[in-house]
Structure 1
Amino acid sequence: MSLRTFGVALAMAVALPAPAAVRIIRGPTPIVSGQASAPGDITLMNDRLAVGLAVETAPPWAIPRGALIDAAPVVGGVIGKDRLTFGDFLPNSWIAWPSSRQDVRIVKQHAGEAIVEAVRNWADVEIRTCYTLREGEDAVHLSVEMTNRGTKPVEQALSGFVLWTLGGHFFGVPGIARGSDGPTTGAMADRIVGYDRDWAIAMHMADFDRFGFGGRDLYRRTTLQPGESRTFQGTLQVVPRGDLAPIVAAELAGSSQGAAHISGQVTQADGTRVAAPVVVAEKDGTPFAWTLGQDGRYALSLPPGRYRFYATGQGYNESKRVEATLAARATRSQDFSGLQPPGRVRLTVREEGSAAPLDARIGIVQGQQPLVEYLGRSTFFTALDHVGDAEFALAPGEYRLSVGSGAGFTTKPATVTAMVAPGQTWTSEVRIPRLFRPEADGWYAADMHHHSDQADGSTPPADVARSELAAGLDLLFVSDHDLTTSHRALAAIAARRGVPFIPSAELSPSWGHFNVYPVKLDEPVRLEMATASAADVFAEAHRLGATAIQVNHPYVDGEGYLSSVDRGVAHGGFDPAFDLLEINGSSGEGDGKVVDRAWASWSTNRPYFLSAGSDVHDVWNSVSGSVRVYAHVDGPLTAGRFVDAVRRGQSYVTRGPLITPDHDFGTTVAVAPRESVTIGFKLQSTTGLKRASIVHDGKVERVVDYAGQATALLSIPVITPSAGWYALTVEDTAGKRANTNPIWIAPRR
């Protein structure tokens, strides 16, 4: 790799220039907790923001150097905490990015403006990015020229800007359903936003035509003939509060339609002002923007149009909706009143019969759920140290709450109705019947793909533990991208709760992701992912102490190893030295291909067994353990014994149904000549069983239908002693499936 920088290298500033001046700092970034920590890295800053460019530091997810990996607001001359994992340009979504050139130079360094240029390649395509920061502005401007230097066309690349903040919440383009990918039909704005109460970061791109990764990525379909170029303009905006008003104002500044203005005050029922009111603007029935006011007052500029407004605050109820049509350059005064402060809910969750306290997840099924997520959660968990107890604030009103323990695998959730009054505490005890006990037969569950608050995750370690325990998982597990930062905290929680902990890392080159486990505590990942081959990744896994290597989401474009192998973009090609294929919670449409690949391997001398993980990043909006592994462990449960059982295939994966075999999966049953052997299974489901498919050597041999019963026994008679294997696919009435690893049949010698 080539790293060139021009201009004067600046040491970390001892005496800062005038507050509004733009400055460039060479070396480890002064951004608190920033990732850009190498001597050659560059920080651009003024009196409103600071951003860090990875010149020598390796960016996350094997992104080539020369990219924005840090951003923080600057308030009163003080640089805040890093709030960015990665926010920059991608030439073709997250599909493997082979890059052999990353040149970075300082183009301009002046008190009024600074420009840094990064030139990188994506195979034969040159990507030239200029990062411009001006005095007094709250945004860095990104101008990208993408040129095809090769001899073949680049066709239908997904090129554009992405935003992955460090923690916080996400607010996508208005008019687009959360989690959407594909065309931009219905989009009302040009920005995506990560935010929390004390910061917000927006990525603006005016001419995008596609979404990616659940609406977090803004792309334009791009075709380049040899020698042809395209330009892309993006803006990374950083503000010091969770307020969309300056972000909408930036959109309006680049528009010719003019701005409309609304302002006023927000008061409680007793007439006192709400200290930090939030006023939400809905357009065509869709949340469009909000502003975070101060001292009971707010102001918001918007594009002309018809809106519906309401006011709220942290823990407050929502005011009555007010409809208004705002014309360009018009000003409207609108007050909101009658807001009521929060009450509290206190729940005790117990198992019916034994009265044992249960870890539980509590979700709002009906009742006020804040749009602005720092105003209040819609999902809650029982405490770690006071098992079964939960207490939290809610806005006044009537609620229907779902209280679950076991994520629907071993229990059914209970529903309670809560009446929350201002300043009062509503109290209830919830009893949940335990329907099934897999652990009584030595079957234990874990979620083998789960993130914390590192990289692209937003869940602190304590909440990872609360969520996994509430899901009825028997072991704790975490796997962040190329990081082991959360291991020590989770190990301490696991020890306190008396449950095993499996520390993992998701090794993440651009062409494939791998969970490796268990790894040594406090051992960082040292491999350079941008240049790593599969053999390098597997060697790093073993250096970390891992005994199992799991291919995550194997057929997802870009990050799926087997997909990249099929397309010829996996560094080093196919390397068979892994153990497990993952059924992934966030890419369920790929289950069939993964299962087919596993089935094919079970008839060879290199079998790959099934594993599973939810891939949860945010436990408040996704369910831990929604897909999981059950493994059979003889004797006391430990992390090592569980991992060994998973690696040997003594396990099954499930999104719902439970399976207990009378012969372990992953083992061989020897059958003597003319001997008849029966393999038996107990099938269970909290929602009722629908069917079971008996698979013999990769083909469905028989389908058994059920009438929704909770428990059934299934037998497979083995009469002819020939080599081969059997497995099951079980489906419940909710359409959720379980897939087993094989049981081999062999002639007894």
Structure 2
Amino acid sequence: MTIRSRLLLTAAIGMAQPALAEVTLTRGSSPVPDGEALSTGDLTVQNEHLAFTIAVDSQAPWGVPRGAIVDLAPVTDGEIALDRIAFADFIPNNWSAWPNTGREVEIVTETPEKVVIRITRDFGEADIATTYTLEEGSDRIHLVTEMTNRGDVPLVDQMSGFTLWPDSGYILPVPGLAGVDSGSAEDALSDRVVAYDEDWFIALHAPYFDRVEYASKDLYATHTLAPGETRSFEGWLQVGPSGDLAPVVAAEIARGDIAAGSLAGQIASTSGPVEDSVLVVEKEGVPYIWTLTPDGSYEIDLPAGDYSVYATAAGYSDSAPQQVTVAADGSETLGFEDLKAPGLLDFAVTDSAGEPLDARITITEGQAPLVEFLGRQTFFTELDQVGGVQASIAPGDYVFTVGHGTGFLTEGEEVSVSVASDETQEVDVALELIARPYENDWYASDMHHHADQLEGTTPPEYVARSELAAGLDVIFLSDHDSTANHGALAEIAEMRGVPFIPSAEFSPSWGHFNAYPLSLGEPLEIDTSTATAAEVMAEARRLGADAIQVNHPFIPYGYLASLEAGTVPGGFAPDFDLLEMNGPDDDDAVFARAAQFWTQGQRIFLSAGSDAHDVWNDNTGSARAYVHVPGGVSADGFVANLKAGRAYVTRGPLIEPEIMFGTELRIAPDEERSLSFDLTAVNGLATASLIGPDGEISSQSFDKAPSTATAEFSITATPRTEGEDWVALRVEDTAGKTAYSDPIWINPLGEPDVLSQD
């Protein structure tokens, strides 16, 4: 029997049999465990395969207007599993601000066979009407959004479409677009992205898309919408009760009526069948799909074509790949018998004097599991065993990169290891610390870091392990609109004897703000989807924040970008203290805006953070703030001195100034004064530039890229007719990594060479 015949027969049998479970619609708090929609007006739709809840009255994440899917889970034997998403719905223009005045909810159909809900929201002058349909027996929610421009002006350069943001698990990107964080979908081999873990999957099918954002979590169409024009977007959210993705490709085949065949076989090692193994299918040299094999046997339907396939399992070596051509209505058989059982590596990481160091250990060369629940490619040393961790690794030859504060304090060490099956091997690694800033009271923190709330996927323990391995001196946490993880991080920080700064990222659609330190664990009491900028900042102060940081100010939903677009409710509110450097492409723009504030006499200084959500794939501390805290670091002291401008931000180079940043240098008018800065860069120093209100004052290049050097500049204080005078430093290393300092204020009216610390 051909695959198409089997599909048709299955459909016919399904129609002939009585329903296994009706489609139901309930109103009120979501029955999905760990769900976020908890209000009386929320709507939950369920059948025998899945359950989803639309936040009608509850807040949606990131200030998105109410009326979006915020809870989604598999259903097995009538039991709803845990919620697996932060958000899965339509976005009209790439997470830009969403001006909204209301919503309309219509129950179009409510029968045991089908539930259809239509929700209309406004997006400025446009209407966004989304229809959600779930049918009896279906493992897919059918989504149709109609976007209509009711205004008189075209909506140009829009990026619109459905998104899938899981709150746990992993992502299999659109096939062909792995590694593409933002860009064209021209090389896509399919039109779906899959979120998954060992016991669930959710796939977003989006046949309209031509662009991805956020590493395939957003599947957009780029378009313009003329006045009066309507554009329709159709997609499906498919849900399964395991990490077996065979149903995903089967749905593609059925939806597109694609010619297909089947592939089947056995997976074994020298000891016999390997239970819970995985068959991975590659197409045109890139990952395409996989299927699980609980008993060592597999079968999967594939579109007709050429594939490379291999078998693997947790800790086992990958089999040798085999090439196969699947013919339309054909059936192929492939067996795999060469899997090898894992070995164990026992790492011990120290500095050159033998003192243990927290460390990040990454597979640079060797087998790195594609299916992430089979094993990690990045490891962190234990909290209670500094410098030590054991890792189960598939047999083979590897190169590991081991580092502590890599790129800042050490270069990282490459270690070659051959792993043998069923053997334990000790791996000792000594790292040379190129800098120890804390010896001179300079301390670092990543001022924008997430754990496992909303789309964050990092348990609190691993936030701490990653931050300590990054060579940071202060543990920091800023989950979106949540303080739920404060208690866990506070306990870990106390156990390790390091300060903890509890924060939250206030996340309306028009701007994000980190506020800190907050009262430990106290929840937010504002609605970020409707609050004005002034109300957001007032809530931060109510929760105890001494500092408010404007996060990624110039991205589409950044505060400064939204102010320029006129989409901030209530307009400009001035009660913030810091501007964050987050994405390197915006660093110069952030510095330029800070420079404007400084010249205007405003004490708004710099901060920096990585915005890490997944520490195994994101680099904690890739952007960080170094703060001078005399007498030893504390959370309060760190925040106070960061807010006072005794700091610099960096992606690599380190700075120790002769005159402290954020302080005032008084020199006689027109008198020349030298300034010096001691610099360190693991990658080697390239340039140092002194900058003032009118731009670059002077620049110094370094021959032979030394790792340490002193930059010396001469300045002359000249009274300004408008604004304040100041100087700041920009340093760049040979890898293009930069550091920017806060200003040193220049007072040309006082006595020469007198430094005020007030």
Identify whether the pair has TM-score above 0.5, normalized to the shorter chain: yes
Q: Out of 568, 582, 591, which is 2:580 matched to? A: 582
1:454-513 deviation digits (Å, cap 9, x = unpaired)? 111111100000000000000000111111111111011001000000111111111111
Correspondence list, 1:360-399, <5 A: 360-399=359-398
Deviation at 1:408, TM superposition (A): 2.2
Work out whether 1:288 is the aligned partner of 2:288.
Answer: yes
Residue in 2 that maps onto 1:28: 29
Deviation at 1:213, TM superposition (A): 2.2
**Structure 2 CA distance for aligned equivalents of residues 527 and 286 of structure 1:** 45
Check the 8 A contact 1:479/1:506 in 2, yes or no: yes
Task: Provide the TM-score with structure 1 as the length reference.
Answer: 0.95
Deviation at 1:311, TM superposition (A): 0.4
Residue in 1 that maps onto 2:623: 627
Deviation at 1:227, TM superposition (A): 2.5
Residue in 2 that maps onto 1:221: 222
**Structure 1 CA distance for aligned equivalents of residues 574 and 406 of structure 2:** 35
- Contiguous gaps of at least 5 residues in structure 2: 1-17, 752-758
**Structure 1 CA distance for aligned equivalents of residues 607 and 147 of structure 2:** 40
**Structure 1 CA distance for aligned equivalents of residues 255 and 293 of structure 2:** 24
Of 636-645 and 693-702, deviating more is 693-702
1:744 alignment partner, SS class: strand
Deviation at 1:636, TM superposition (A): 2.6
Deviation at 1:154, TM superposition (A): 2.2
Check the 8 A contact 1:419/1:426 in 2, yes or no: no
Residue in 2 that maps onto 1:207: 208
Residue 231 of structure 2 aligns with an amino acid whose one-letter code is: R
Tell me: CA distance 1:256–1:711, structure 2 relative to 1, closer, same or farther (3 Å).
same
**Structure 2 CA distance for aligned equivalents of residues 184 and 428 of structure 1:** 42
Tell me: CA distance 1:475–1:521, structure 2 relative to 1, closer, same or farther (3 Å).
same
**Structure 1 CA distance for aligned equivalents of residues 430 and 489 of structure 2:** 28
Correspondence list, 1:10-21, <5 A: 19-21=20-22
1:54-74 deviation digits (Å, cap 9, x = unpaired)? 011101011111110011111
Work out whether 1:664 is the aligned partner of 2:660.
Answer: yes
Deviation at 1:445, TM superposition (A): 0.2
Correspondence list, 1:135-154, <5 A: 135-154=136-155
Work out whether 1:345 is the aligned partner of 2:342.
Answer: no
1:307 alignment partner, SS class: strand
Residue in 1 that maps onto 2:714: 717
**Structure 1 CA distance for aligned equivalents of residues 51 and 322 of structure 2:** 38
**Structure 1 CA distance for aligned equivalents of residues 67 and 44 of structure 2:** 12
Residue 260 of structure 2 aligns with an amino acid whose one-letter code is: A
Residue 154 of structure 2 aligns with an amino acid whose one-letter code is: P
Residue in 2 that maps onto 1:12: none
2:143 alignment partner, SS class: strand
Deviation at 1:720, TM superposition (A): 4.1
Check the 8 A contact 2:669/2:719 in 1, yes or no: no
Work out whether 1:605 is the aligned partner of 2:601.
Answer: yes
Residue in 1 that maps onto 2:407: 408
Check the 8 A contact 1:657/1:736 in 2, yes or no: yes
Residue in 2 that maps onto 1:694: 690
Check the 8 A contact 2:668/2:717 in 1, yes or no: no
Residue 92 of structure 1 aligns with an amino acid whose one-letter code is: N
Residue in 2 that maps onto 1:522: 521
**Structure 1 CA distance for aligned equivalents of residues 708 and 231 of structure 2:** 60
**Structure 1 CA distance for aligned equivalents of residues 218 and 714 of structure 2:** 52
Tell me: CA distance 1:286–1:674, structure 2 relative to 1, closer, same or farther (3 Å).
closer
**Structure 2 CA distance for aligned equivalents of residues 147 and 704 of structure 1:** 55
Residue in 2 that maps onto 1:233: 234
Residue in 1 that maps onto 2:487: 488
Of 173-182 and 364-373, deviating more is 173-182
**Structure 2 CA distance for aligned equivalents of residues 129 and 655 of structure 1:** 42
1:651-687 deviation digits (Å, cap 9, x = unpaired)? 0001111000121101101124576543221111112
Check the 8 A contact 1:600/1:698 in 2, yes or no: no
**Structure 2 CA distance for aligned equivalents of residues 18 and 287 of structure 1:** 36
Work out whether 1:553 is the aligned partner of 2:555.
Answer: no
Residue in 1 that maps onto 2:432: 433
2:35 alignment partner, SS class: coil
**Structure 1 CA distance for aligned equivalents of residues 169 and 376 of structure 2:** 12
1:254 alignment partner, SS class: helix
Check the 8 A contact 2:85/2:455 in 1, yes or no: no
**Structure 1 CA distance for aligned equivalents of residues 154 and 401 of structure 2:** 54
Q: Out of 679, 683, 689, which is 1:683 matched to? A: 679
Residue in 2 that maps onto 1:742: 743
Deviation at 1:593, TM superposition (A): 0.7
Deviation at 1:728, TM superposition (A): 0.8
Tell me: CA distance 1:731–1:76, structure 2 relative to 1, closer, same or farther (3 Å).
same
Deviation at 1:575, TM superposition (A): 2.2
**Structure 2 CA distance for aligned equivalents of residues 358 and 616 of structure 1:** 22
2:345 alignment partner, SS class: strand
Residue in 2 that maps onto 1:11: none
Work out whether 1:278 is the aligned partner of 2:275.
Answer: no
**Structure 1 CA distance for aligned equivalents of residues 199 and 257 of structure 2:** 31
2:249 alignment partner, SS class: helix
**Structure 2 CA distance for aligned equivalents of residues 152 and 656 of structure 1:** 45
Residue 621 of structure 1 aligns with an amino acid whose one-letter code is: N
Tell me: CA distance 1:86–1:674, structure 2 relative to 1, closer, same or farther (3 Å).
closer
Deviation at 1:574, TM superposition (A): 2.2
Deviation at 1:18, TM superposition (A): 7.4
Residue 711 of structure 1 aligns with an amino acid whose one-letter code is: T
Residue in 2 that maps onto 1:7: none
Of 209-218 and 451-460, deviating more is 209-218
Check the 8 A contact 2:44/2:54 in 1, yes or no: yes
1:117-138 deviation digits (Å, cap 9, x = unpaired)? 2111111212221111111111
**Structure 1 CA distance for aligned equivalents of residues 683 and 218 of structure 2:** 37
Work out whether 1:127 is the aligned partner of 2:123.
Answer: no
- Contiguous gaps of at least 5 residues in structure 1: 1-16
Correspondence list, 1:41-440, <5 A: 41-270=42-271, 272-353=272-353, 355-440=354-439
Residue in 2 that maps onto 1:504: 503
Residue in 2 that maps onto 1:5: none
Deviation at 1:576, TM superposition (A): 2.2
Check the 8 A contact 1:199/1:242 in 2, yes or no: yes
Deviation at 1:721, TM superposition (A): 5.9
Residue 627 of structure 2 aligns with an amino acid whose one-letter code is: A
**Structure 2 CA distance for aligned equivalents of residues 697 and 227 of structure 1:** 48
Check the 8 A contact 2:669/2:716 in 1, yes or no: no
**Structure 2 CA distance for aligned equivalents of residues 467 and 631 of structure 1:** 20
Work out whether 1:647 is the aligned partner of 2:646.
Answer: no
Check the 8 A contact 2:485/2:521 in 1, yes or no: no
1:67-113 deviation digits (Å, cap 9, x = unpaired)? 10011111111110010110011122211111112122322221111
Check the 8 A contact 2:20/2:137 in 1, yes or no: no
**Structure 2 CA distance for aligned equivalents of residues 321 and 25 of structure 1:** 49
Residue in 1 that maps onto 2:13: none
Of 39-48 and 665-674, deviating more is 665-674
Deviation at 1:379, TM superposition (A): 0.3
Q: Out of 561, 564, 567, which is 1:563 matched to? A: 561
1:602 alignment partner, SS class: helix
Deviation at 1:149, TM superposition (A): 2.2
Residue in 1 that maps onto 2:539: 540
Task: Provide the TM-score with structure 2 as the length reference.
Answer: 0.94
1:456 alignment partner, SS class: coil
2:591 alignment partner, SS class: helix
1:10-36 deviation digits (Å, cap 9, x = unpaired)? xxxxxxx97521111211111110111
Check the 8 A contact 1:343/1:421 in 2, yes or no: yes
Residue in 2 that maps onto 1:531: 530
Give aligned-pair identity as a percent: 48
**Structure 2 CA distance for aligned equivalents of residues 367 and 244 of structure 1:** 25
Check the 8 A contact 1:277/1:298 in 2, yes or no: no
Check the 8 A contact 1:721/1:745 in 2, yes or no: no
- Report the count of equivalent residues: 728
Tell me: CA distance 1:689–1:156, structure 2 relative to 1, closer, same or farther (3 Å).
closer
Residue 625 of structure 2 aligns with an amino acid whose one-letter code is: V
1:540-571 deviation digits (Å, cap 9, x = unpaired)? 110111111111111111x2111111111122
1:535 alignment partner, SS class: helix
**Structure 1 CA distance for aligned equivalents of residues 735 and 635 of structure 2:** 31
Check the 8 A contact 1:483/1:525 in 2, yes or no: yes
